[in-house]
Amino acid sequence: MKPQAIVWVTLIFYLLFIGVRFVFMMYPADSVKLRMAQESTPSASERRADNLWAYYLINEENPLRTDFTVGLEKVQGDFMLDERCVDYAKQMIEDAAAEGIILTVVSAYRSVQKQQENLDNYIKRLMNEGYTSKEAKARAEKEIARPYISEHNAGLALDILTPDWWDSHDDITADFENTEQFRWLSENAHKYGFIMRYPKEYEDVTGYIYEPWHYRFVGVYYAGKIKESGLPLEYFYKTNF
């Protein structure tokens, strides 16, 4: 082939190559579009999200790993939380007290063994009240999560009551919602990264009874968004992860 012809063939191949690349850039395949969209989407940290380590589901479909471990620190009395969120809880308790609202922690981190013990004891109590073994187990598991699917096992949950609760109650009940502590938490808990985890309207979604005393740490950013949405974590998480 003559030198002049070689130059022309090379030029034609080069122009074809440039043309093909231009077409792919203008009309990318779906997989390429997805990658481009993912790369251009702001990361969670860029959306000001904090404590992303705490933003995950713990439930029947999403149990903790059996080798899960957590560093703990005391939050009030002998009750402990994950050391990464304990300062948020302490500040919440302190700020509430400054407004004359005393938040009393009655449960926080529980070991897997303690969780199983609590569940077994409640089942026995229900059976003593006349429930069959099957009925007692079904009811108990709507109120006390099994080991590895409890947020208490992760050190991310607080059960909060009034300081005089046990003067008039022998159990934790939904009438906690009538207290000034509950009203304060409803208005402020999200500012410290906590959400009321098991709302009244979504028992079929969460799998648990309404628990106005149970607060779960998810970080300030997502706690605010979840409160704003009015949705339980199960629904919110599916569309915001």
Does the residue 191 lie in any domain?
yes
Identify the CA nearest to 212 among candidates 233, 185, 192.
185
Does the residue 137 lie in any domain?
no
**13 in the same domain as 57:** no
Does the residue 127 lie in any domain?
no
**94 in the same domain as 12:** no
CA dihedral over 235, 238, 239, 241, signed as positive or negative: positive
**181 in the same domain as 232:** yes
Whole-number Å distance between alpha carbons of 158 and 108 = 5
**181 in the same domain as 62:** yes
Average pLDDT over residues 74-80: 98
CA angle 189, 204, 185 (to 5 degrees): 10
Q: Percent of the chain beyond pLDDT 90?
A: 77
Residue 48: band (very low, low, confident or very high) from pLDDT cuts 50, 70, 90:
confident
Q: Tell me which residue range forms the domain holding 24.
A: 3-40
Average pLDDT over residues 49-73: 96
Take residue 66 and report the two structure tokens written for it.
């059996």
Residue 31: band (very low, low, confident or very high) from pLDDT cuts 50, 70, 90:
very low
Whole-number Å distance between alpha carbons of 127 and 137 = 9
Average pLDDT over residues 15-37: 46
Sequence-distant contacts of 205-208: CB under 8 A, at least 24 apart? 205/232, 205/234, 205/235, 206/59, 206/232, 206/233, 206/234, 207/59, 207/60, 207/142, 208/142, 208/143, 208/145
Neighbours of 117 (CB within 10 A): 13
Q: What is the CATH number of the domain that holds 162?
A: 3.30.1380.10
Identify the CA nearest to 182 among candidates 169, 198, 196, 201.
196
Question: Length of the chain in residues, anyone?
Answer: 241
**161 in the same domain as 97:** yes
Model confidence pLDDT, tens digit, residues 178-209: 999 999 999 999 999 999 999 999 999 999 99
**72 in the same domain as 155:** yes
> What are phi and psi for residue 118, nearest 5 degrees?
-60, -45
**pLDDT of 10:** 56
**pLDDT of 241:** 72
**75 in the same domain as 12:** no
**169 in the same domain as 102:** yes
**pLDDT of 6:** 54
Model confidence pLDDT, tens digit, residues 218-238: 999 999 999 999 999 999 998
Does the residue 180 lie in any domain?
yes
Does the residue 145 lie in any domain?
no
**pLDDT of 5:** 55
Domain tally, the chain: 2
Does the residue 234 lie in any domain?
yes
Q: Virtual CA dihedral for 189, 195, 197, 199, nearest 10 degrees?
A: 70
**177 in the same domain as 216:** yes
Does the residue 207 lie in any domain?
yes
- Any idea which residue has 């004891």 for tokens? 121
**65 in the same domain as 21:** no
Residue 42: band (very low, low, confident or very high) from pLDDT cuts 50, 70, 90:
very low
**pLDDT of 33:** 36
For residue 153, the surrounding DSSP H or E stretch is none
Average pLDDT over residues 80-93: 98
Does the residue 201 lie in any domain?
yes
**7 in the same domain as 106:** no
Identify the CA nearest to 210 among candidates 218, 220, 198.
198
Report the mean per-residue pLDDT for the chain.
87
Average pLDDT over residues 3-27: 52
Identify the CA nearest to 192 among candidates 86, 108, 103.
86
Average pLDDT over residues 27-50: 49
Model confidence pLDDT, tens digit, residues 135-186: 999 999 898 999 999 999 999 999 999 999 999 999 999 999 999 999 999 9
**pLDDT of 15:** 54
The answer to whether residues 34 and 44 touch, using CB atoms and an 8 Å cutoff, is: no
Is residue 50 pLDDT above 90, yes or no? yes
Q: What are the strands, taking DSSP E only, across 19-173?
A: 72-76, 79-82, 104-107, 157-161
**191 in the same domain as 95:** yes
Average pLDDT over residues 47-75: 94
